[in-house]
A and B are shown apart, each in its own frame.
Chain A
């Protein structure tokens, strides 16, 4: 089981990194031939950075759209961010001070993350419009996150796992040596779910995470009259004349 999970983690990480890098590269090199910011939009690059920050950190547009979706979605994402940061302790030695500091908050965040996910799923199940637009993968994606959250919380509150051994296992992975892993079903389930998440990330709607930064309606400055904007393929049309 150790070796299997170790190999899976290597493969999944490789797929995640390469897949995501490839996707981001595609977004970056695909031209945006026209100025299409959703206005009113900031007129300067500094303004665009602020707008994007508000969008990514506070989910500004979603806030305007629907308070329930915003509340549940933000709760899920913010909690998850804290939970991920909390897990840094398995990968660094010595553990940084601020990572130590957030440990207890990370636990509450785990619970909050689960609540947010359940709320989002309830919305998907019971709101007619959202149910209509949901594909099986939309439901499964939420279930996957719920499985990760529940198995993680269970190891804290129900059946403790040997976290020291887990840390040794991951430290080992980082130095290409396979160390023993506690043979707990919940732990294996937790880790396997994370492997699945890493694998599907570059091929699924989870690409919204890098995608938002490349969205022309959000990342362009509103200055088309002041600065000529032209893509390479469009400029060619002018030289043909």
Chain B
């Protein structure tokens, strides 16, 4: 770690000069035979990878309109070219969203379009060679699927969709990424990304009950597998033991306690994060999500609430209804979805974000808050990319920006926003999302954090900010690792519910 130096801040945030080849390399570790086969992918690169890859691309083009339209529609206008945090931090031109897409598009043109078949040089089409394959593996793992480019594209081209397709092609020929595929294996086998088995989870939760009792004198419960509970909490498994994640978990439990809400965790479905999205495989995405459906049905819960996690909230908010029926509005003859939807209480949003839950409780004055508990902090908020650009909270577009900020303002006296060119829908990814949060990509992670670090530095210098709240397990892990390299104290990062936990007054149930 010591030999990693962060890129220098830009004195004026101008667009960097290109350094071709700056991030060339082997990319992340490749999944082993065992990891691949557990998920049904070929153990290692298959002999006829060329034909298999092209066939897979053809298959995806007929199943995903996004990919089909995005392969055709790009006009190389350059609107996205300076919008990616990995490009800004690395200056490698292949990290410009358009150039990243072109790694795939060039092959699409060669095999699926007439001009590419006839005049490949003219339209920038190229054969799929081993070099191209290696390039895909390298550069499609320097994308966090954060969707910032899609905000600025005049056709809404979302590089995340292209990255997902490229990764899906790679793993279908046995060339997938170790980190993401290994984690998916753990989810299928054990029920969470960390491979934390039920007894260990139980122990952890009991330990937490003791800790909170010691700190507050109150019996705040962390229930697991309670049938008939009202709320099923699905939270990223990092919340169970990682710092600072765990402080937010305590925050959720305190909110449930203070509002008298009966709730439970599930040991078989103890994970909100869904790496199936990262690897662009619908079946994996669906299988991982079905665990939540199963837990909800078995426990007979009325509500499903999701903890602080960015890509997970996108999957929950945008995809769960499609994948599992967690939501509302299924057709009357849709037996699969109706089975679950009949059980859920539709006076509430299904699923709900923990911030929606807490904000409702604050608005209803169901919890008592002592803001002065956070007076030692000057707080700013980092909009997590997939919450900002791939989901919503509350009843109106943009609620995902207001609700977390409303909560922070309700529990703390000192709040400032970072530069508006880097918040709300324009927020930068932390640099670790979408399957990049692994030590074999630490160089990518450090460089990708640059734009966020610049703006954090600005508010720490000007407004003495000393706490950056976020609502994502990956953001929290990434920042605690990367911020010390930029000279920040790692304890500056924490969850929104960590602040809630500080301020909430227990023992006065209303």
Residue A136 at the chain B interface, CB threshold 8 Å: yes
User: Residue of B at shortest CB range from A204?
Assistant: B115
Give the residues in chain B near A200, CB-CB below 8 Å.
115
Contact assessment for A40 and B322 in the assembled complex, using a CB-CB cutoff below 8 Å? no
Residue A89 at the chain B interface, CB threshold 8 Å: no
Chain B interfacial residues counted at CB < 8 A: 79
Give the residues in chain A near B157, CB-CB below 8 Å.
215, 217
What is the CB-to-nearest-CB distance from A230 to chain B, in angstroms, rounded to a whole number? 5
Given contacts A33-B63, A41-B397, A137-B123, contact A129 B114 (CB under 8 A): no
Candidates B77, B151, B327, B390; contact of A69 at CB < 8 Å: B77
Candidates B15, B17, B83, B425; contact of A39 at CB < 8 Å: B425
Give the residues in chain B near A217, CB-CB below 8 Å.
66, 150, 156-158
User: Residue of B at shortest CB range from A40?
Assistant: B397
Given contacts A205-B73, A227-B329, A228-B337, contact A66 B156 (CB under 8 A): no
Measured in the bound complex, the distance between the Cα atoms of B337 and A238 in whole Å is 10
Contact assessment for A218 and B72 in the assembled complex, using a CB-CB cutoff below 8 Å? no
Contact assessment for B63 and A31 in the assembled complex, using a CB-CB cutoff below 8 Å? yes
Measured in the bound complex, the distance between the Cα atoms of B69 and A216 in whole Å is 9
Given contacts A61-B152, A136-B121, contact A129 B322 (CB under 8 A): no
Contact assessment for A61 and B65 in the assembled complex, using a CB-CB cutoff below 8 Å? no
| Most A CB within 10 A of own CB, among B80, B158, B318, B329 | B318
User: Residue of B at shortest CB range from A59?
Assistant: B154
| Most B CB within 10 A of own CB, among A41, A43, A217, A218 | A217
Contact with A along B385-419 (1 / 0, CB 8 A): 00011111000111011000000000000000000
What is the CB-to-nearest-CB distance from A196 to chain B, in angstroms, rounded to a whole number? 13
Give the residues in chain A near B152, CB-CB below 8 Å.
61-62, 64-66
Residue A123 at the chain B interface, CB threshold 8 Å: yes
Give the residues in chain A near B282, CB-CB below 8 Å.
33-34, 234
What is the CB-to-nearest-CB distance from A51 to chain B, in angstroms, rounded to a whole number? 10
What is the CB-to-nearest-CB distance from B169 to chain A, in angstroms, rounded to a whole number? 17
Residue B161 at the chain A interface, CB threshold 8 Å: yes
Measured in the bound complex, the distance between the Cα atoms of B158 and A35 in whole Å is 13
| Most B CB within 10 A of own CB, among A32, A35, A61, A228 | A228
Residue B9 at the chain A interface, CB threshold 8 Å: no
User: Residue of A at shortest CB range from B73?
Assistant: A211
Contact assessment for A39 and B321 in the assembled complex, using a CB-CB cutoff below 8 Å? no
Contact assessment for B18 and A129 in the assembled complex, using a CB-CB cutoff below 8 Å? yes
| Most B CB within 10 A of own CB, among A224, A226, A233 | A224
Contact assessment for A64 and B151 in the assembled complex, using a CB-CB cutoff below 8 Å? yes
Measured in the bound complex, the distance between the Cα atoms of B385 and A189 in whole Å is 50
Candidates A34, A128, A133; contact of B319 at CB < 8 Å: A34
Contact with B along A18-46 (1 / 0, CB 8 A): 00000100110011111110111111000
Contact assessment for A30 and B389 in the assembled complex, using a CB-CB cutoff below 8 Å? no
Contact assessment for B351 and A55 in the assembled complex, using a CB-CB cutoff below 8 Å? no
What is the CB-to-nearest-CB distance from B339 to chain A, in angstroms, rounded to a whole number? 11
Give the residues in chain A near B425, CB-CB below 8 Å.
38-40
Contact assessment for B392 and A205 in the assembled complex, using a CB-CB cutoff below 8 Å? no
Contact assessment for B319 and A228 in the assembled complex, using a CB-CB cutoff below 8 Å? no
Given contacts A34-B319, A228-B325, contact A133 B392 (CB under 8 A): no
Measured in the bound complex, the distance between the Cα atoms of B62 and A33 in whole Å is 11
Give the residues in chain A near B283, CB-CB below 8 Å.
237
Given contacts A40-B398, A69-B78, A123-B78, contact A55 B319 (CB under 8 A): no
Contact assessment for B156 and A212 in the assembled complex, using a CB-CB cutoff below 8 Å? yes
Contact assessment for A137 and B330 in the assembled complex, using a CB-CB cutoff below 8 Å? no
Measured in the bound complex, the distance between the Cα atoms of B68 and A80 in whole Å is 27
Residue B370 at the chain A interface, CB threshold 8 Å: no
Contact assessment for A211 and B18 in the assembled complex, using a CB-CB cutoff below 8 Å? no
Contact assessment for A35 and B319 in the assembled complex, using a CB-CB cutoff below 8 Å? yes
Measured in the bound complex, the distance between the Cα atoms of B122 and A140 in whole Å is 9
Contact assessment for B96 and A205 in the assembled complex, using a CB-CB cutoff below 8 Å? no
Residue B64 at the chain A interface, CB threshold 8 Å: yes
Measured in the bound complex, the distance between the Cα atoms of B426 and A61 in whole Å is 12
Contact with B along A50-92 (1 / 0, CB 8 A): 0000010001011011100100010000000000000000000
Residue B147 at the chain A interface, CB threshold 8 Å: yes
Measured in the bound complex, the distance between the Cα atoms of B161 and A133 in whole Å is 20
Give the residues in chain A near B80, CB-CB below 8 Å.
65
Contact assessment for A137 and B79 in the assembled complex, using a CB-CB cutoff below 8 Å? no
Contact assessment for B150 and A133 in the assembled complex, using a CB-CB cutoff below 8 Å? no
Contact assessment for B156 and A33 in the assembled complex, using a CB-CB cutoff below 8 Å? no
Given contacts A30-B62, A133-B99, A137-B115, contact A207 B72 (CB under 8 A): yes
Residue B81 at the chain A interface, CB threshold 8 Å: yes
Give the residues in chain A near B64, CB-CB below 8 Å.
30-33
Contact with A along B88-109 (1 / 0, CB 8 A): 0000010010110010000000
Candidates A215, A228, A230; contact of B156 at CB < 8 Å: A215
User: Residue of A at shortest CB range from B328?
Assistant: A226
Contact assessment for A39 and B390 in the assembled complex, using a CB-CB cutoff below 8 Å? yes
Contact assessment for A133 and B81 in the assembled complex, using a CB-CB cutoff below 8 Å? yes
Contact with B along A126-141 (1 / 0, CB 8 A): 0111101111111010
User: Residue of B at shortest CB range from A206?
Assistant: B75
Residue B124 at the chain A interface, CB threshold 8 Å: yes
List 17 additional A-B contacts (Cβ < 8 Å) besides A35-B322, A39-B388, A39-B392. Answer: A30-B63, A30-B65, A34-B319, A129-B15, A129-B18, A130-B81, A133-B81, A133-B99, A205-B73, A217-B158, A224-B321, A225-B321, A226-B327, A228-B328, A228-B330, A233-B63, A234-B286
Can you report 12 residue pairs joining A to B where beta carbons are below 8 Å apart? A30-B64, A31-B65, A39-B425, A55-B154, A65-B79, A129-B93, A132-B99, A135-B76, A214-B69, A225-B317, A228-B331, A238-B336
